Structure 1
Amino acid sequence: MSEFKGKMEDHFEFGGIANRRRGLQLLAIFISFSSTIATTGFRTSELQFSTKYNVTVPTAFFTQISLEKCWEECTARVACRAFNYYNLYKLCELDILGNLTDVSTSEPFEENGVVYWAKQELLATIPCGSKTCSLGQRCDKDTGACEIKECGPLNVSDDIVVLGNVNKIGSWIRLGCKDDYVPSFTSVECDVGGHWTRHDLTCKRCEADWILFHTSCYRLFPEEVIYEAATSKCELVGAKLVSITSSDEYDFLQRKFSPRDRFWIGANDKEKEGLWKWETNETWSYEHFLENEPNGCTTENCLIMCITNQLTGWADVNCYRNQTYVCKKVA
């Protein structure tokens, strides 16, 4: 214990006289921790990780352990930079390569005190008996063995959302895409070697002036052209004249474009009257015609979508009519 005190002496800072406002903040912190603990049924000094949303660098914590043990757990890990110790609750909060707040530099919490300690030097390895432990390993000082207990930070691109941050061995984390990106989900595991499994999640978003819906991008072009010209102009921008194959997609277009819009959609019955086909060759499994439409017989073989204050729907019109158009492409 004397060795421990000597090593820690220059780094400890304790809270002084109770301050009501800071005391309430500490209570809120503790409630947050105890809520997580209650959820997991965690009541021992086993290592736990917070599960805050979208945190790539985890904060680990122990409960019901001593200050000395907290220090040992941090110094036994290459990945631990610092810790906070809440004396009243015997709560140890480890900073795993993150940016943990130095509470000792703030106003005092309570007379029971809070301890902040940080490593003076961050090493790539730490000595452990006759061995050296590396990132993701914990040194068992009693046996001189390096144990793999957790994975380090999860490195992902800026467009990926990390859904949780539990990084002990065997834990899984779901990954998704941020807003305005193609929604996609995958999972990664912290394997027995202390490494995250590889993922193939790639998040994409639409170009400027295009609107994302599910996995496609849409754009309304205000230029009025005939049907064939609209199909050609969509192809020039790597797209197709819009197909609408579900009620969700129909509702999306209705919401996104203002009333009194009329635009070409990519369907026609030129080959056989009444047999409508999408320019994309998708199966014709959904339709949303206005009442009494289609009604043009052989003179009206192309479709427009009408959006008014009173009603919306599709109508067949002459293919040589000039209309605005909507293009659609994969994000």
Structure 2
Amino acid sequence: MDFKVIPFLAMFNLVNYFSATFADFDVRALTLNAAALPEHRFLSIPGISLQDCWANCENRASCKSVNYKRQWHLCELNSVGDSKILQHRVRGSVFYKKRNDATKVQCGSTTCDGDMEVCDRTTGMCTVKECEPLQQKSERFVKGNIASMGDKALLGCKDGFSPSTGSNVTVTSRCGNDGIWLPEISCIKTCQLRSSTSSETSYEVFEHGQWKTMPCSPGTAFSVDTCECSIILRKQ
């Protein structure tokens, strides 16, 4: 037997199965031994079939692709579907990319147009079941990658940044029934400078064990909010 034929036959049988099961299933978007999108996964659903995994994606405008791990029957919904950014190849997985990036899903006589709304095909109703994935930022970190209602994630300020309000540098945020994460945290750059006691058009920096006065550029004044001479002075 020519073992090089087996992967082709497996793909052929899988395509034929889905062609018969789903008339509108885009077999061109189905690839075997594909790659996961761990940075863009917003929902993991264990213990379901590939058909149900695909259906869960089709019912969400926010879902652009799925990665199905056949060995564990694990469905992962991704917020992006561009095959150019695939990474972390997973042997035995199946990757499916939606045919379009539609922002709405037709649900019976209604339309689910919210980013995180899900169509219930049985009732024809649009409901919110998840929050938008929390994004890593240059000033803030996120620990946790699940976003169903009631799920929690840890948010915090990175080194060199501090919370804009309050004293806690980390907060535990929860995905609410309205699809909103609360509480949130806003981080600003930690300022190593301070306002000058002699003039608003200068600031002080701590160097070699003492505070040294530095001038701002002409026409500007120091701002503690931006930690630089960002205030534009009006000409007299």
C-alpha offsets along residues 77-115 of structure 1, whole Å, 9 cap, x if unaligned?
A: 1111111112232221211348786479x6x83xxx432
Give SS of 1:123's match: coil
C-alpha offsets along residues 22-63 of structure 1, whole Å, 9 cap, x if unaligned?
A: 9xxx9xx9xxxxxxxxxxxxxxxxxxxxxx9xx6x5442222
Q: Which residue is equivalent to 2:106?
A: 127
Alignment of 1:1-331 (within 5 A): 2-4=20-22, 6-15=24-33, 57-97=40-80, 102=86, 109=91, 113-133=92-112, 134-154=114-134, 157-182=137-162, 184-197=169-182, 199-207=184-192, 219-221=206-208, 236=213
C-alpha offsets along residues 158-186 of structure 1, whole Å, 9 cap, x if unaligned?
A: 20111223311122322211122237123
**Where do 5+ consecutive residues of structure 1 fail to align?**
16-21, 30-51, 209-216, 223-229, 239-328
**Where do 5+ consecutive residues of structure 2 fail to align?**
1-17, 164-168, 194-203, 216-223, 228-236
Structure number, greater radius of gyration: 1
Contact 2:43/2:148 (8 A) holds in 1: no
**Over aligned residues, Cα RMSD in angstroms?**
3.8
TM-score (norm 1): 0.46
Cα deviation for residue 128 of structure 1 reads 0.6
C-alpha offsets along residues 193-228 of structure 1, whole Å, 9 cap, x if unaligned?
A: 1122363533322459xxxxxxxx983337xxxxxx
Structure-2 separation of matches of 1:103 and 1:188: 28
Contact 2:155/2:185 (8 A) holds in 1: no
C-alpha offsets along residues 247-286 of structure 1, whole Å, 9 cap, x if unaligned?
A: xxxxxxxxxxxxxxxxxxxxxxxxxxxxxxxxxxxxxxxx
Select between 94-103 and 195-204 the one with higher mean Cα deviation: 94-103
Q: Which one-letter code corresponds to 1:85 in the other structure?
A: Y
Contact 1:60/1:94 (8 A) holds in 2: yes
Point out which structure has higher relative CO (alpha carbons under 8 A, 6+ apart): 1
Q: Which residue is equivalent to 2:4?
A: none
Structure-1 separation of matches of 2:72 and 2:137: 37
TM-score (norm 2): 0.62
Give SS of 2:126's match: strand
Identity %: 27
Report the CA distance shift for 1:237/1:176 in structure 2 as closer, same or farther (over 3 A): farther
Report the CA distance shift for 1:14/1:122 in structure 2 as closer, same or farther (over 3 A): same
Structure-2 separation of matches of 1:180 and 1:97: 31
Contact 2:162/2:189 (8 A) holds in 1: yes
Q: Which one-letter code corresponds to 1:135 in the other structure?
A: D
